[in-house]
Amino acid sequence: MKPLKYITFLFLFMTFTSCKKEAITYQCPMQCEGENTFTTEKGSCSVCKMDLKPVANQTKKIVTDEISDESIFNLTSKWNTEEGKTIQLKELKGKTLVMVMVYTTCKAACPRLVADMRSIEEKVSKNDDIQYILISIDPETDTPKRLKEFAIENFMDGKQWTFLQGTESSVREFANVLAVKYKQISPLDFSHSNIISVFNSDGELAHQQEGLGVDNKETVSKILELVN
Amino acid sequence: MNTIFRLTIAIFFLWVSNVNCQSEMVLIKGGTYTPLYGRDSLQVTISDFKMDVYPVTNQEFVAFVKEHQKWKKSKVLKLFADGNYLFNWKSDTELDPSQSLKAPITGISWFAANDYCECQGKRLPTIDEWEYVAMANEKMPDARKLKNYNEYILSWYEKPKTFNNEIGSTFKNYWNVYDLHGLVWEWTSDFNSVLISGESRKDVDNDSNLFCGSAAIGATDLMNYAAFMRYAIRGSVKAKYTMKNLGFRCVSDIENKQ
């Protein structure tokens, strides 16, 4: 009897401490409950009563079906808006996006970049299919509340404007997608590239305007071309 | 009874060696130093952290790719890697016969390296952390002033194809970390904070201490020259670039002692 106990114990020990802790999860095949998963095999979906099926390693792939290889909607990071909502970039699908990375405590370049954004918005006449997005490179300071205040102060509180707060790593990742470089110089000061990026409704980069106070004719015409 | 006991021990050791799938890490004691480009060119303080002893190998990356389909050569998104991603590989999960399993993985983008580390519960080192560990030689934590330390690095810059060499083939430094110099360049988490490039002259608002001119003026001695090369590389790459001499290793924070 004893050896058996020994082996059982050993076996259990190995199973529990092995480094691959990959629990199998189960999901309704119709995804009635969206991406919700369950850890028990026996069970059925509470909505459509179908048996749950094990989830393949790549649950998230399903969503990316219609998104091209080069689309920023492939990024799965979550962002807080100035209105206190949490969104993923792919929720912006369908709109032409004009994006810039700034931070609200900035004294030098950002006010000019923000002005550039406003000037683009003015020249492109009002259109519900365009979203202007300002992403903070200082997610610690720029909370949704602070971003909202900034939006009001700068007359950018309309619904065509969105301000996003990420995390240090999601901001770094997004900057890498835009090829924006930035560096924290002191707690409230960053140096950064001044780039305004335009994305088509599928999230593919269409145009980048580099520099401060540059002529935005090309950017404006690109936006109009994408919308129409 | 005795045989079973021995068997247990034997199996136990076998298992230990097998289960050790996390690559080996060592503790790096934090400290303060002056990097080539710090914040305001001032001193930088590093907290304690752990660093991989070796760069991530081809073998480890093959295992990673098998588990994470999206990093297969045929599946990788263009947003995350350029056309040369894993260029040499024979297939999605096979190396070219000329590549050694124990050689450092190269030809990967920042996104791939970043995701690899995250999947291990680790992260990429910051530039400041990497430079902090890399300024050590065999005996001293900061050997940057020594002539032979710099000569070693510069002579490596001249050697071709060191990325084919196996990990551990260069020296073990003061922190017991291998291959920081002499094998491959390595990705850092915040490589895009280096603002030396064409951009410095046109669209970056605060670049006085990163401007090519001033950097070159400051970089008079060998000590700065070797480091300047690394910063220049970081300043010139984009996150989806892949290069055959650019690899990576991971680090992790020390859990809070509470």
Per-residue pLDDT, B104? 95
CB contact under 8 A, B203 and A193: yes
What pLDDT does residue B136 have? 93
Return the residue of B nearest to A171 by Cα. B190
Inspect the interface and report whether the beta carbons of B77 and A19 lie closer than 8 Å: no
> What mean pLDDT, rounded, does chain A reach?
79
Give me the amino acid identity at B60. E
Task: End-to-end CA distance of chain A: give it in Å, rounded.
Answer: 80
Backbone φ and ψ of B116, nearest 5°: -55, -50
* pLDDT tens digits along A1-54: 566 676 666 565 555 554 444 455 666 656 655 556 665 555 666 666 666 666
Candidates B134, B127, B142; CA nearest to B190 is B127
ipTM summary value: 0.71
Is A167 at the interface with chain B, CB within 8 A? Answer: no
Shortest CB distance from B193 goes to which of A2, A179, A183?
A: A183
User: A81 pairs with which residues across the strands?
Assistant: A164
- Name the nearest CA neighbour of B58 among B10, B4, B5, B99: B99
**How many Å apart are CA A133 and CA A100, to the nearest integer?**
7
Residue B224 CB neighbour total at 10 angstroms: 17
Q: Note the pLDDT tens digit of each residue in B126-159.
A: 998 999 999 999 999 998 888 888 889 888 988 8
Interchain contact A151–B (C-beta under 8 A)? no
Residue holding tokens 């480890």?
Answer: B60
- The predicted structure's pLDDT at residue A46: 64
Report phi then psi at B218, rounded to 5. -70, -30
In a domain, B88, yes or no: yes
* Arithmetic mean of pLDDT, B18-36: 79
Q: B193 vs chain A: nearest CA distance in angstroms?
A: 5
More confident residue, B92 or B147: B92
The rounded percent of chain B whose pLDDT value lies above 70 is 79
Evaluate whether residue B258 is within a structural domain: no
Overall average pLDDT of the A121-141 stretch: 89
* Chains A & B: contacts with CB separation below 8 Å: 106
Can you tell me which residue has the tokens 């969206």? A34
Domain boundaries, chain A: 20-57, 72-227
Subunit contact A176:B40, Cβ cutoff 8 A:
no
Average pLDDT estimate for B238-242: 91
**What domain range includes position B101?**
2-253
A155: distance to nearest CA of chain B, Å? 24
Categorize the per-residue pLDDT at B8 as very low, low, confident or very high, splitting at 50, 70 and 90: confident
Architecture of domain A72-227: 3-Layer(aba) Sandwich (3.40)
Mean pLDDT of B69-77: 92
Query: Could you give the residue ranges of the DSSP H alpha helices within B54-165?
Result: 58-67, 110-119, 127-134, 147-158
Question: To probe the interface with A, which of B15, B73, B190 has the most A CB atoms within 10 Å?
Answer: B190
B215-229 pLDDT, tens digit each: 443 444 556 778 888
Q: How many CA atoms does the CB half-sphere of B204 hold within 13 Å?
A: 27
- Total domains in chain B come to 1
pLDDT of residue B12: 62
How would you write B109-129 as a 3-class SS string? CHHHHHHHHHHCCCECCCHHH
Give chain B's end-to-end CA distance (angstroms, integer): 43
SS3 state at A181: coil
Distance from CA of B192 to the nearest CA of A (A): 5
| Residue bearing the bigger pLDDT, A92 or A185 | A92
Tell me which residues of chain A, numbers 9 to 28, contact chain B at a CB-CB cutoff of 8 Å: 10, 14, 17-20
CATH number for the domain that contains residue B89:
3.90.1580
Distance to chain A for B155, nearest Cα, Å: 30
Task: Please give the pLDDT value at position A8.
Answer: 64
